[in-house]
Amino acid sequence: MHDIEKEPLTAPQEWVSDTPLEPALSSRQNSEILNVLYFKTFETIAENVIFNINECQEDIEILKEAHKTLYEHTPNTNKIAYKNRSTLTSQTIKLDNRLQYLRKSVVTLEPSKPKLSDLDLRNQKYKLILRSYKDLLEKYINITLESQRYTAQLFEKYIKTVNPHATPFDLERAIASTGEDSPSVFVQILMQRGVRRNDKEVQHMMHIVQDIHGDLRQLALTFIKLSEMRNEVNILIERYRRRWPLVLKEGNVVYVIDDELNVLERTQVGNTIDFDGLLRKREKRNKLIASLVALITVIVITSIVVSTTLFTDF
């Protein structure tokens, strides 16, 4: 059977909507409804996220090999360089689409308003997804940084071929000039100051410099985007360190219970539960307990010191 959830390139379009979501069950309050879109369930989206993370892992390996091959064969074999630059472009676009989908769906999956029956399963799966997603981003970032390093070396090599008088400052500025213009005005001026011959070899080298500059610009943009996504997932992980209270239902009564089995709230079925408020109260209580423990510790230590001093003097 064809699985529509394995279509990552069209799925992200469904996430962009200003239309308020309708609850799947009219008897449930908005705060208790998992924020998913219409027919998509938590389990289905989670499965799709895991699938796309695994696909991204494979895409990143292809991207890594293309970068390596491009670096090794430029400009000796134009066909190989052209083929791998084409692979880089297509893989970068594919990865960007998948990661944008993951970026949105991971936030939507957060089980902050869970169903009563499967809270623990949702928590376990979400933690697994967060870890896998962060590992994926870290791997992609490391490959991007490595590619930037040896692509910059290649860029310097061919800049010097065209302009042997380029200073280290010139090269550093040229590498950093990864704006929208391709190649940057500074790079064009730097090359024009070089060899004045119009033979085919020099022209060919100038085209190579332009292509490599385009590679550097794409790598810089990729790194910026990946860094933003890594910051977002770090915030999610930090926020999720606070475990959501357990919700139990007995008849028409709903109990919200913390990790130590203390009842945080007792309410009727159908009433809205302010989970954020409960967590804030719990954090305040924990801070108060920590302060009391610290105060008692100080008092005990002070008493011991005073007693020891008095005993010594005696």
Question: Distances from the Cα of 245 to the Cαs of 128, 192, 238, 258, 272, in angstroms?
Answer: 19, 66, 16, 5, 15
Number of domains in the chain: 2
228 lies in the same domain as 252? no
In the predicted structure, residue 132 carries a pLDDT above the cut 80? yes
Half-sphere exposure in the Cβ direction for 206 (13 Å, CA)? 18
Give me the CATH number covering residue 28: 1.20.58.70
Domain hosting 229: range is: 4-242
pLDDT mean across residues, the chain: 71
Q: Is 80 exceeded by the pLDDT of residue 7?
A: no
Residues 222 and 182 in one domain: yes
Q: Mark whether 266 and 184 lie in a shared domain.
A: no
183 and 260 in a single domain? The answer is no
Out of 103-112, 115-124, 236-245, least confident range: 115-124
Could you tell me if 230 and 138 are in contact, meaning their C-beta atoms sit under 8 angstroms apart? yes
301 and 171, same structural domain?
Answer: no
Q: Is there a single domain that holds both residue 131 and residue 161?
A: yes
Confidence of residue 32 (pLDDT cuts 50, 70, 90): very low
pLDDT on residue 276:
72
Considering 108-122, 197-211, 236-250, 276-290, the range whose residues carry the highest mean pLDDT is 276-290
Which stretch, 46-50, 86-90, 159-163, 227-231, has highest mean pLDDT? 227-231
Q: What is the pLDDT of residue 120?
A: 59
Q: Is the pLDDT higher at 69 or at 194?
A: 69
For residues 157 and 192, membership in a common domain is answered with yes
